[in-house]
Structure 1
Amino acid sequence: MTERVRVNLDTPRAAPVELTDADAIEQLLSDSYSSMRVRSRHPARLRYQRVNGGSFALDTFEQSAVLDVRVEPLQTIVVDRSTTAGVHARRGADISRYDSGDLFLAALPDQPYTARVMPGRIDACVIDLALIARVAATAPGRRPEPVRFVGLDPLSAELAAHWWSTRCYVAELLNNSEAAASPLIVGSAARQLAAATLTAFPNTALTEPTVADRCDASTATVRRAVAYIEGHATDDISIADIAAAAHVSIRAVQLAFRRHLGMPPMAYVRRARIDHAHRDLVAADPAATTVGAIATRWGFANHSRFTAVYRKTYGVTPQTTLRND
């Protein structure tokens, strides 16, 4: 009888599954990515695990035999790393071979593809197109077309290494149950992954401010943006949210903050949150809470970094504030 295993993609961390039935392997991978056909000339064993971040997922799968796959368009961005398994991929007329350590996009979102996957391990990252669009958004109303990826391989080895280090960092965050429960931390991690993907792979995202953006980079824009940030510091807000609240493009709000405050908008968000963390430390009972719990509440996953930034801002450690106030 065919094994029937369906991974619940809505759970933060699905338990690892191990399959030996070819039809069950095909069904599992179809559920996780897109409809596909999976064939193997020899008995195959597949071990699969997914860690879900909402708008993205981190997958690991390892198989014991050569798998031939034919995949329908993904409608997502899937970044693969051939950790120990080689991959021979065909997308349209393009034929590529990837060896251990190589990073690549599985295919363009609307492009079917076929691949032969050798025994070994693949680490994958699945990213919603909506998340990519939010991070890459520029000049709303002036550039309505979506961002498109125009290449499947990283622009450089350095950018590929940066992408992989970002994924490792995000995986470490999601392995920490306290951090994984914080919407601020998971939201920030999602945007870091999307930004690293846009940086690493060729795409059509606009990167330079337009003339209109430069005109909009005013003190009035900063005031509107700051008011929104201060009123939404507890929320998982993005640069796109800030720009929308200020009624300008993302590039305009970025330029305005650099021009008038000397920092990026998200740095101002972090400063606002550390101010809220300071207030919580002052008001907290040291017998009932910890510095780590307050840091996590305000989106600081790295408690050592939180301590360093806090000390630079207030001249004392957060532990001192918690004890004395």
Structure 2
Amino acid sequence: MCSTAASIDIRNYHELDQQLRAIPGWQGEYYQMSPGSFAGRTVHVALEDVEIFEEQMNLRVEQTFRTPVDALVFSFDMKDSTLHILTDQASNTWVTPADYCELAVVFKRSASILDGLAADLGDLILTPLQSKYCRLFSHWLSTTLHSAARNPAAGLPLGIKKQLLEDCFFILEQEMDGVSSEVVRSEQSRKAIRRVIELVEDSPCESFSAPELASAAGVSLRRLQQLFRAYAGMSPTQWLRLRRLNAVRRDLMRSTAAETTVAEVAMRWSFWHLGRFAQSYYSLFGEHPSTTLLHSASASEAPQ
């Protein structure tokens, strides 16, 4: 049987930032949003003008990212059987469920068939599109990738790039009718959430109150609560606290006990009650902040 030669890179991770850095061309941040020890996996295939990713994570994670430049991305949520269209024209943000698995097909816009298409999609970008075909397609593609990984000599099916293009746009076409009113509502919600995220990113160390976040979003406090329950499954202040805990963890992992203390890092991120902070940190990451700092120091002292 004829096939397409491809190198399939499969990697496992135990730190969130390691998984983020493993995906070439994507820029952004990951924030752990549910308690436990992180475990993740990526599968990556690079073909001419097309890339395929499969990403798995055991915990809920907020992803804030930009796609590779000049790319159009079809992202399939395998748990909810939904399709999201992503481009580099907008900052993409969402919170994954636990035990998340996503398949993404990245088309480089150097392919003439994609010229100007991203602008035509307009408000469909990031709108969840549900279809029975999402499950069928993502199951087929995942099975195909893992079969090829087990037998590299067999490669991928001949003509897979053409099939990916045809299948992705077929699924998109099935869902483009009848979404106009839903698109308007989801676009308004995304803009409100995005205004909150921009405020937090402009002053990442601040601990904003719920009224301050609602004012930045341009919505009522009650509406902000509803939006964040739908977006993150929690209140906006809980969401902000988890983001700051993630920031503390990153700083601790990049430092040593000779350079800083847990208290200094915690207060840098507006955690003034250190006992309560330590309890929250342990509940989220499953280890004490002093342990994280100790591990980072041990890693830096290890022989190269």
TM-score by length of 2: 0.44
- Report the structure, 1 or 2, having the larger helix content: 2
